Chains A and B, each alone.
Chain A
Amino acid sequence: MAAITAAGRLPRTRTRGPVSRVNPMVYVVAWLFVGLCIAPVVYIILGGFRTNSEITSDPSGLPSTWKLTNFAEVLSSSGFWQQVGNSTVAGLGTTAGVVVLGLMVSFVLARYRFAGRGAMYALFAAGLMFPMTVAITPLYILIKDLGLMNSLAGIILPQIAFALPQAVIILVPFLAAIPKELEEAAAIDGASRLGFFVRMVLPLSVPGVVTVGILAFVASWNSYMLPLFILNDSSSFTLPLGVQAFASEYSVDTARVLAFTSLSMIPALIFFSLFERRIVGGLTGAVKG
């Protein structure tokens, strides 16, 4: 349990209160780094409480009085709520699709032995290497040919497809770790493999599913390139497109742009802080293969 201190003056004996032995400089540097990480986000949020003249005359200052009018105006505009609605539908649709399809195919990859299983796994693993950028132009044409332009389905379907590799990489080891004995016991009790999937695997895979679901939701909530290509009509805009349109439409009204921007990042931040451990665990697990 010995903690190694930054200064290198490690006591040979076991330390009882390791926390107190950490060099104070560690705290200074750590919180300085935290400050750098959140300062721009804080700037955006504080800016929403200021007025435009304040921002122009003193760009890096604090709000002199905390004004809520910018936030109130954004919250009372129909455009904002429509975009929140679109982003929510796209996010939930993507998440549901990724979780359901990902679980099904991961179950096959984890629990069945058949020819072509390796190839199937490699197909999805290879997909992890190629982000949407490469496929975006033909994808746009495909969506146009399918008549899905300006519809949320036009971004949900590709988002599911591009999130599947990550889901497979996270879920396969998870499902493979369910003991064989459990499956045999279920079989003895008369459950088919599908019955085993529904009654045992689904409940046991909840933690992995939560990770996959949150990653898919946050990625969809923040996605920019695909909506930029597919959604041209402002009534179908998701929040990232809305933020950009709002920022150019009200480019002189900086305070309102900052208020709009702050409000649009709240859901992703809430989701993330609630499930931080899961997300980080999932990411690092996925990265390690």
Chain B
Amino acid sequence: MTALVQGTRAGVTATPARRRRSADWRKRAEITLLSGPAILIFVAFVIFPVLMAAYYGFFSWKGYGAPTDFVGFKNYLTILRDPTFHDALQHNGFIVIASLVLQGPAAVLLALLLNQRMRGRSLVRVLIFVPYVVSEVIVGTGWSLMLQTNGAVNDLLTKIGLESWTTDWLSDPSIAIWSLMLIISWKYIGFAVILFLAGMQSIPEELSEAASIDGASYWQTQRRITLPLLGPTLRIWAFLSIIGSLQLFDLVYIIWGQYVAATAGTSTMATYMVTNGRNSGNFGYGNAVAVVLFLISLVIALTYQRYVLRRDTAGALTEGKK
């Protein structure tokens, strides 16, 4: 069928059979030529490194020459027994949950608020997206200056009479992870709001009009119409947020550095991986940590896709096989 369609595009003079064969050949050449480079670079720099991590993870290896000191599952056992890794894993778990709980409801409320016809809405939309666009390094540098014990935040609290609230935001282990959550929420909530706002704007206005004609209050309309229809957007956002929280590295590494993160209680699996892998020259071990991080993310991603996203992505992921 495709060959036939192809055939009509090839020259008009050739016989049908030869036309089909040359068109077929030509189509295959075009596909190879057009998709080859992208697949090559994608496999070389994304798929291959992930596979190599699994291989290197079985070796005790300093990163020079080919790995020869095969140690089996020793690296993995060390990881699973290391209390420092348990701490990091716990921090990641906390960040996953806290990001969903803190950002989700707040972002929905803010999106509802901004979904109204107010003056200057497009300016507001640009401004709340600024933290998302500013790089992690700038966010980290700026916030660590502001949160120093003699920084702007404590100074501001003192000025407005909340001196008792001033604290050591970054190094007190009971506070630091909340400071991290504050920074994460600040940086990423704008993204959630914009996403939800786009989702809300794709809901036909007739639905809420009809509801209001039936006497529904504003909050009833939002609860019964907007929120259920926003479901797919909410579920995708939660997915992105969970994966992002599991992979968190930049902000922690920039603000707390490789040594302080563990003692301040903000280390993550990724900072553990870099500190105990490349930075201490144990490349085999670092790769094993990467594999553990990968498997945890994969299991969570697949579980989430299987049970939560299935309905939403049914169209998107099967579209290719249409």
| Chain A residues near B (Cβ < 8 Å) | 1-8, 10, 12, 18-19, 22, 26-27, 29-31, 33-34, 36-38, 40-41, 43-44, 47, 56, 58-60, 97, 101-102, 104-105, 107-109, 112-114, 117-118, 120-125, 127, 129-131, 133-142, 144, 157-158, 160-162, 164-165, 187, 192-194, 197, 218, 221-222, 224-225, 228-229, 239-241, 243-244, 247, 254, 257-258, 261, 264-265, 268-269, 272-273, 276, 280-281, 283-284, 287-289
Contacts and interface: CB of A to CB of B under 8 A. Distances in A.
A38 B35 CA distance: 42
30 contacts: A4-B218, A6-B113, A8-B217, A19-B117, A19-B119, A26-B113, A30-B114, A30-B118, A33-B128, A37-B127, A40-B131, A41-B142, A56-B150, A102-B38, A108-B34, A108-B35, A127-B42, A129-B298, A133-B270, A134-B247, A138-B50, A161-B41, A164-B42, A193-B9, A222-B135, A243-B137, A269-B130, A273-B126, A276-B125, A288-B232
Interface in B302-322: 312-313, 315-321
A136 B25 CA distance: 39
Interface in B18-58: 27-28, 30-31, 34-35, 37-39, 41-42, 44-50, 52-53, 56
A55 to B, nearest CB: 9
| Main SS class of interface, A | helix
A4 B194 contact: no
Given A37-B190, A109-B320, A118-B320, A138 B56 contact: yes
Interface residues of B, number: 111
A288 B138 contact: no
A273 B123 CA distance: 10
Given A37-B127, A60-B159, A193-B30, 4 more contacts: A134-B297, A137-B283, A139-B49, A228-B253
Given A30-B118, A225-B249, A142 B198 contact: no
A261 to B, nearest CB: 5
A18 B117 contact: yes
Nearest to B5: A113
Contacts of B85: none
A271 B281 CA distance: 39
Given A133-B249, A138-B290, A284 B199 contact: yes
A38 to B, nearest CB: 6
Contacts of A243: 137-138, 141
A221 B319 CA distance: 33
B231 interface: no
Contacts of B318: 118
B141 A247 contact: yes
Contacts of B104: none
Interface of B: 2, 8-9, 27-28, 30-31, 34-35, 37-39, 41-42, 44-50, 52-53, 56, 63, 110, 113-114, 116-119, 124-131, 133-139, 141-143, 145-146, 150-156, 159, 186, 190-191, 194-195, 198-199, 205, 208-209, 212-213, 217-219, 221, 232-233, 236-237, 240, 243-244, 247, 249-250, 253-254, 270, 273-274, 277-278, 283, 286-287, 290, 293-294, 297-298, 301, 312-313, 315-321
Contact of A276 (B31, B129, B154, B218): B129
Contact of A137 (B31, B155, B190, B286): B286
Contact of B273 (A29, A137, A268): A137
Given A10-B212, A59-B152, A240 B278 contact: no
B192 to A, nearest CB: 11
B135 A34 contact: no
Contact of A287 (B240, B274, B293): B240
A105 B38 contact: yes
B106 to A, nearest CB: 9
Residue of B37, B221, B312 with most chain A CB atoms under a 10 A cut-off: B37
A215 B61 CA distance: 37
A229 B49 contact: no
Contacts of B152: 43, 59-60
* Leading 7 A-B pairs by shortest Cβ distance: A289-B316, A222-B135, A121-B320, A161-B45, A8-B218, A105-B38, A138-B49
A121 B319 CA distance: 9
B102 to A, nearest CB: 14
A9 to B, nearest CB: 8
